[in-house]
């Protein structure tokens, strides 16, 4: 009988819970830092939604780039990931710049401000680049294709030129009406 809660499944559940907690907290901190940074440097009268939209764009772009990299590698291990990797590096650099920009001038403040972005990036990379499960899966059984049945083809009898009529019979054509 198969056990419902084996160690692999429990570890997987624990990992998902940890990722959700870290992702939620890191996202909240990072989004807030980027939103604050945007609003500090935005023209007077800019609405709050602009800061939040900038935060969503700059913070979700690295996650999207990681997903694209993973999908390309899964579909074709030799596929180029240069473009999504460039987007990932650029988006992380912008996010870290926002995290550090809202910090105080001390090293520890800047380090602590960058922790949410770095932690989320590290955990995302850890999960998204994990090797596939090593359990052997049997391919789904396929129905055998039926063998084609040869259809007899009647070939015309070879005609000897001697047997062909040389003078065709006359064909009656009725006269045209007046």
* Span 92-106, pLDDT tens digits: 888 888 888 888 889
CA 114, CA 91: separation in Å to the nearest integer?
Answer: 14
Q: What is residue 73's predicted lDDT score, i.e. its pLDDT?
A: 86
What is the DSSP-derived secondary structure letter of residue 130? P
Q: What is residue 134's predicted lDDT score, i.e. its pLDDT?
A: 47
**What is the end-to-end Cα distance of the chain in Å, rounded?**
99
CA 124, CA 90: separation in Å to the nearest integer?
Answer: 16
Tell me the pLDDT tens digit for each residue of 124-176: 777 666 665 544 455 556 677 777 777 776 666 665 555 555 666 666 677 87
CA 51, CA 32: separation in Å to the nearest integer?
Answer: 9
Tokens (6 digits) for 135? 């359990």
Three-class SS state of 138: coil
Three-class SS state of 155: coil
CA 8, CA 2: separation in Å to the nearest integer?
Answer: 13
Q: How confident is the model at residue 23 (pLDDT cuts 50, 70, 90)?
A: confident
- Where helices occur in the chain by DSSP H, the ranges are 7-41, 48-75, 82-101, 107-128
- 123 Cβ contact partners less than 8 Å away, ≥ 6 residues apart: 18, 19, 22, 23
CA distances to 52, 57, 176 from 170, rounded to whole Å, are 95, 89, 18
From the number of C-beta atoms within 10 Å of its C-beta (0-12, 13-18, 19+), residue 178 rates as exposed
């Amino acid at each position: 009988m198969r056990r419902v809660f084996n160690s692999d499944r429990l570890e997987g559940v624990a990992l998902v819970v940890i990722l959700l907690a870290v992702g939620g907290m890191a996202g909240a901190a990072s989004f807030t830092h980027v939103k604050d940074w945007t609003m500090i440097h935005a023209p007077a009268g800019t609405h709050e939604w602009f800061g939040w939209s900038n935060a969503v764009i700059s913070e979700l772009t690295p996650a999207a780039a990681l997903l694209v990299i993973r999908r390309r590698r899964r579909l074709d291990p030799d596929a180029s990931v240069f473009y999504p990797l460039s987007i990932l590096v650029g988006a992380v650099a912008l996010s870290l710049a926002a995290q550090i920009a809202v910090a105080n001038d001390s090293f520890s403040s800047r380090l602590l401000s960058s922790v949410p972005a770095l932690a989320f990036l590290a955990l995302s990379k850890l999960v998204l680049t994990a090797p596939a499960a090593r359990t052997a899966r049997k391919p789904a059984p396929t129905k055998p294709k039926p063998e084609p049945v040869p259809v007899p083809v009647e070939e015309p009898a070879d005609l000897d030129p001697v047997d062909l009529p040389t003078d065709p019979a006359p064909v009656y054509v009725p006269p045209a009406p007046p």
